[in-house]
Structure 1
Amino acid sequence: MELEPSPPGLEAEYRTIFTAGSLVFLQELVSTFDEEVDKILRLRISRKTHLDLSGDLPGFCEVTAPVRSDPTWRVRPVPQRLQRRHVDVGDLAPCDTQRFIQALSSPAQGLQIDFDDGNCPTYHNQIKGIYNVYRAVHNQFPNAPKISQAPVLMLRPRAWNMVEHNMMVKGKEVPGPLCDFGFLMFHCGKLLFDSESGPFFYLSKVESYLEARLWNNIFLWTEQKLGLPVGSIKATVLIENVLSAFEMEEILYELKDHSAGLNCGIWDYSASFVNKFGHRGAFLLPDRSKYVNMEKLFLRSYMDLLVQICHRRGALATGGMAALLLPQDRDSAPYRAALANVTRLKLLEIKAGVDGFMVYDLGLIEPMQKLFQLHSQGDNQMHQLRDDLTVTPDDLLCMPAGGVTLYGLKYNIAVGILFIDAWLKGKGHFFYRGQVEDSATAEISRSQVWQWIRHQTQLEDDSRVVTRGLVTKLTQEVMGELKVVTRCHTVREEQRLLTAAAMFLEVVQKRDFPEFLTTYLNLDHTFLSSQAKRHEGGVVGDVPRPKL
């Protein structure tokens, strides 16, 4: 194993996490499963190539029909602390110590400890984040409750598309999720189990039941290595891809001893349609700011089917994250309007039968818990079997009607640029126009701009065609606002924002759609150089890029 030295200022954290025992454990974990990880990534490419060459559409798999038709199997019941999952806090990057401690002291049922969508995976952030989880589990935060009394930690490692650049095993960079999972389990798994508080995980961007099978094998291996009973590890799988929506039952089956249910969200899932079918005119996704929400048929069907499958199999079904930020003045009209908006959208999910969902703003925890108490009974809604429901492949693949607005195009451009700018600063999420934005909203934003350019879509406002030239022009127009949003006060800060804009224009003009924005950035010289400069104490964001 090769390991980079500690970033400046994190020497104590580095020594705590990277012990001789933990490094041996991680080396064995990676050596055992590295080939399987490569295989599932190659299968993703093969599957996408088949869809492109054949023009086929996904459907319910004939090979696994016996799993779906067998009414007898159920997932193993979850521990008591997971029975009530009404409100979790989402996008909680554990490297943010202050917010992490605040959330530990909140009345939420759970915390999504996010090394993925809401986190920028710099070496500093990964070490600090794992160390903060270590401190929480070992009850080392003086102003936080003991881990057995705090909200449960739902640990979310990076997805399979991410690698850890600072660590190599047998001459290869380590898969990001194995790095995160391995260190978290080695240092915290046994303590969490003994305190009846885990270990619980979120699994991001799983695309097939074969990937769920790989995770299950990883869990079994880890339980055996650490002396934990089979089924100790529990995981909620985020169904963030249109292909996995056709394999939800099989995913539960593969993880049935380790399942904590499935989760449905809106933006990563919607972006996956562009990822898999974006070059097809029939899958042109309209303006998300006007025409895409959970009430549309393709999203409502996905949520309904997820709830039906989970409850039929004895699993929990959870919804997405409310990204809205509440204004500070609780007596103001904007506060009431924001709360009413979140309430309307989350009530739709409760009535669909979900057992819980996430919020970002800690001020939304108690209002949303009260909403659950008013409109549901008991710890969860698993008694709602939704037997009246029939969802067809056509329902899941039905694109909503609608066009593209100038507002929506400029909004998507702004979110994409601001996300890249945040990454160049080492941040995984940011605030824009009253809500939190992370990699999920960045993915849908850049996906839509790429697709609208590809299909030369017309704007509703004035019939202009969305072209590279128009997107470049609009990018120049929004830069004034973005300088204010990012508080650019120096030439170097302005240069960093211009660099982010140039990178955004690069990614939306690619001939072939980059599968994940985060992968693209994580392999990009500009991002890697900015982090190297940060660790060396240099200036971030002064790497030149093409001018706008």
Structure 2
Amino acid sequence: MSAPAPSPLATVVADPAHAPARQDEVLTDAALAFIAALHRRFTPRRDELLARRAERRAEIARTGTLDFLPRTAAVREDPDWRVAPAPAALNDRRVEITGPTDRKMTINALNSGARVWLADFEDASSPTWENVVGGQLNLIDAYERRIDFTSEQGKSYALKPADELATVVMRPRGWHLDERHLTVDGRPVPGALVDFGLYFFHNARRLIDLGKGPYFYLPKTESHLEARLWNDVFVFAQDHLGIPQGSVRATVLIETITAAYEMEEILYELREHASGLNAGRWDYLFSIVKNFRDGGAKFVLPDRNAVTMTAPFMRAYTELLVRTCHKRGAHAIGGMAAFIPSRKDPEVNEVAFQKVKADKDREANDGFDGSWVAHPDLVPVARASFDAVLGDRPHQKDRLREDVHVRAEELIAVDSLEAKPTYEGLRNAVQVGTRYIEAWLRGLGAVAIFNLMEDAATAEISRSQIWQWINAGVVFDNGRKATAELVREVAAEELAAVRAETGPDGFAAGRWEEAHDLLLKVALDEDYADFLTLPAYELLG
């Protein structure tokens, strides 16, 4: 007897008794057929590219360096090519707000006064099935203007008029994460294709009718070949659903060290769909540690808060990004202002706002066309910095930064920093890592910790630095050596502090023990986990 023919639909693998509300509105047969088509066509290439990541990491471990690619020199040297012109809705991007797609955030972000909202299914979202499906529904409801929200305190939230709303740029998950709740031919579908596919299927035509379009941020890209895969996904999706080619626009986060050496090639591969590049921070530092973790003392990073964007190797990265974008007609978008204003301490807010202003002033004066904030109260601060430089212009892409000349070695000159790891830096890494992972396991991807909005990238750099400091035998400022035993001691102290802070009932209601154990696993295991969200996903409800 022959085997049954494969289903033309993606299969939902979830408990029907606990299905998210209105799930059937998202997981229609037509949408599941589209997901299946994307999976069958593109997942094999995704698999090959993930294997190539491992090969490249092995090469970095062997050589201890990186360089611009000789085989793509012709792309970099060709002065003539440009990315597609920006659509009107993405021409002015001076302030962008980021956040997950829960109902309250959807309304607040759209109403924030920012030009763009990065609607995040990735680092700021814990990928519970409820969040995956609910986030899609919230965006559909927002475009249909049938979204509202009432808090437990009775405060109501509703959308402003359409012309006052931010433009949505949606960020799907990275290529490395699978979605276990959707399978095709017995295999889980990559989360990237689930997030992209459901959003595109339901909203591409709707957004075009609204005078905008299906716009995306592409995370954790490691090479121009991965950008080429995304471009092929866009071409196929537009053709498959009868959407005009070129409707998609993508901004790529340059948040891996390997991608920093392929900025022009990434824009070239996406040029009919490219909108710009973004300079991330924590994921970029995480990528440096991950790729050069066995590179010796010259690659040891100090405390994460000591690595500012003014560090020489970070300046090289951001200035190269601005020059690359403007050379090719793309937007250069700056990094995150993650401060969360205090309701109790105006002095703390004043100091933090001045730091945010200085950071955004620097970005605007360096040539960036816009930047990120994590909270609506920071929108006017960042806007003032860019208004002062841009005036009535939508961007400053005419500022070509031809004065910038970055050598390959400057991008990885970590030893140009004078700061060193400290014991308090270790304690902070344990505190933030534990607190973030615990929230993530409860389904929260964007978490306010010590007045900063933290996401998965924060936890990644925290656990990576712990791993690196131990393996490099770092001796801290108090004379104590970084060891697994010391980390376990600090982690136990943090767990006790949380127990005292939350009380017995609050502690029991959380997932603190699991978070503690997972942090120690990904920070102390000899075999370094590529992403902590992979083992964490196995624990996610």
CA 1:147–1:3 in structure 2 vs 1: closer, same or farther (change >3 Å)?
farther
Within 5 A, what are the aligned runs for 1:104-123? Answer: 104-123=110-129
Describe the SS at the equivalent of 2:22. Answer: helix
- Residue 418 of structure 1 deviates from its aligned partner by 1.1
1:93 equivalent to 2:100? Answer yes
Rounded Cα–Cα distance in structure 1 between residues aligned with 2:87 and 2:523: 45
1:245 equivalent to 2:254? Answer no
Rounded Cα–Cα distance in structure 2 between residues aligned with 1:196 and 1:340: 37
Rounded Cα–Cα distance in structure 2 between residues aligned with 1:485 and 1:342: 30
Per the alignment, residue 194 of structure 2 pairs with 179
Describe the SS at the equivalent of 1:489. Answer: helix
- Residue 372 of structure 1 deviates from its aligned partner by 1.1
Per the alignment, residue 542 of structure 1 pairs with none
Within 5 A, what are the aligned runs for 1:214-233? Answer: 214-233=229-248
Post-superposition CA distance 1:313-333 (Å, at most 9, x none)? 000000111100122369x32
Describe the SS at the equivalent of 1:64. Answer: helix
CA 1:12–1:248 in structure 2 vs 1: closer, same or farther (change >3 Å)?
same
Describe the SS at the equivalent of 1:373. Answer: helix
CA 1:7–1:418 in structure 2 vs 1: closer, same or farther (change >3 Å)?
farther
Amino acid at match of 1:497: W
Is 2:303–2:420's contact at 8 Å kept on the other side of the alignment? Answer: no
Match of 1:463 among 471, 479, 483: 479
Is 2:113–2:164's contact at 8 Å kept on the other side of the alignment? Answer: no
Per the alignment, residue 260 of structure 1 pairs with 275
Deviates more, 1:309-318 or 1:32-41: 32-41
Per the alignment, residue 13 of structure 1 pairs with 22
Per the alignment, residue 31 of structure 2 pairs with 22
Describe the SS at the equivalent of 1:173. Answer: strand
Amino acid at match of 1:123: W
Rounded Cα–Cα distance in structure 2 between residues aligned with 1:289 and 1:32: 40
When the two structures are aligned, how many residues end up with a matched partner? 520
Within 5 A, what are the aligned runs for 1:280-359? Answer: 280-289=295-304, 291-328=306-343, 332-359=346-373
- Residue 293 of structure 1 deviates from its aligned partner by 0.7
Rounded Cα–Cα distance in structure 2 between residues aligned with 1:271 and 1:209: 20
Post-superposition CA distance 1:88-126 (Å, at most 9, x none)? 111x111x2112112222211011100001000011110
CA 1:486–1:75 in structure 2 vs 1: closer, same or farther (change >3 Å)?
farther
1:366 equivalent to 2:374? Answer no
Describe the SS at the equivalent of 2:294. Answer: coil
Is 1:284–1:451's contact at 8 Å kept on the other side of the alignment? Answer: no
Is 2:20–2:134's contact at 8 Å kept on the other side of the alignment? Answer: no
Describe the SS at the equivalent of 1:113. Answer: strand
Per the alignment, residue 43 of structure 2 pairs with 34
Describe the SS at the equivalent of 1:174. Answer: strand
Match of 1:60 among 55, 65, 68: 68
Post-superposition CA distance 1:161-211 (Å, at most 9, x none)? 111011110111100000000000000011112212221000000000000
Is 1:112–1:153's contact at 8 Å kept on the other side of the alignment? Answer: yes
Is 1:353–1:381's contact at 8 Å kept on the other side of the alignment? Answer: yes
Is 2:360–2:386's contact at 8 Å kept on the other side of the alignment? Answer: no
1:210 equivalent to 2:218? Answer no
1:72 equivalent to 2:64? Answer no
Match of 1:415 among 422, 432, 446: 432
Amino acid at match of 2:535: Y
CA 1:363–1:487 in structure 2 vs 1: closer, same or farther (change >3 Å)?
farther
Per the alignment, residue 482 of structure 1 pairs with 498
Rounded Cα–Cα distance in structure 1 between residues aligned with 2:52 and 2:235: 23
Match of 2:52 among 22, 28, 43: 43
Per the alignment, residue 5 of structure 2 pairs with none
Is 1:7–1:123's contact at 8 Å kept on the other side of the alignment? Answer: no
- Residue 50 of structure 1 deviates from its aligned partner by 2.2
Q: Tell me, which stretches of 5 or more residues in structure 2 are unaligned?
A: 1-9, 149-157
CA 1:12–1:466 in structure 2 vs 1: closer, same or farther (change >3 Å)?
closer
Deviates more, 1:284-293 or 1:405-414: 284-293
Is 2:228–2:270's contact at 8 Å kept on the other side of the alignment? Answer: yes
- Residue 485 of structure 1 deviates from its aligned partner by 6.1
Is 1:414–1:482's contact at 8 Å kept on the other side of the alignment? Answer: no
Per the alignment, residue 448 of structure 2 pairs with 431
Rounded Cα–Cα distance in structure 2 between residues aligned with 1:206 and 1:304: 19
- Residue 513 of structure 1 deviates from its aligned partner by 1.3
1:448 equivalent to 2:465? Answer yes
Amino acid at match of 1:470: L
Per the alignment, residue 544 of structure 1 pairs with none
Q: TM-score, normalised by structure 1?
A: 0.92
Q: Tell me, which stretches of 5 or more residues in structure 1 are unaligned?
A: 532-548
Is 2:95–2:115's contact at 8 Å kept on the other side of the alignment? Answer: yes
CA 1:375–1:430 in structure 2 vs 1: closer, same or farther (change >3 Å)?
same
Describe the SS at the equivalent of 1:256. Answer: coil
RMSD: 1.7
Per the alignment, residue 389 of structure 1 pairs with 404
Rounded Cα–Cα distance in structure 1 between residues aligned with 2:124 and 2:332: 21
Amino acid at match of 2:390: S
Rounded Cα–Cα distance in structure 2 between residues aligned with 1:367 and 1:9: 43
Rounded Cα–Cα distance in structure 1 between residues aligned with 2:430 and 2:77: 45
1:274 equivalent to 2:289? Answer yes
Match of 1:376 among 390, 410, 422: 390
Amino acid at match of 1:442: A
Deviates more, 1:468-477 or 1:274-283: 274-283
- Residue 493 of structure 1 deviates from its aligned partner by 2.9
Is 2:441–2:536's contact at 8 Å kept on the other side of the alignment? Answer: no
Amino acid at match of 1:116: E
Amino acid at match of 1:133: L
Is 1:416–1:445's contact at 8 Å kept on the other side of the alignment? Answer: yes
Is 1:325–1:361's contact at 8 Å kept on the other side of the alignment? Answer: yes
Amino acid at match of 2:137: Y
Is 2:300–2:472's contact at 8 Å kept on the other side of the alignment? Answer: no
Q: TM-score, normalised by structure 2?
A: 0.93
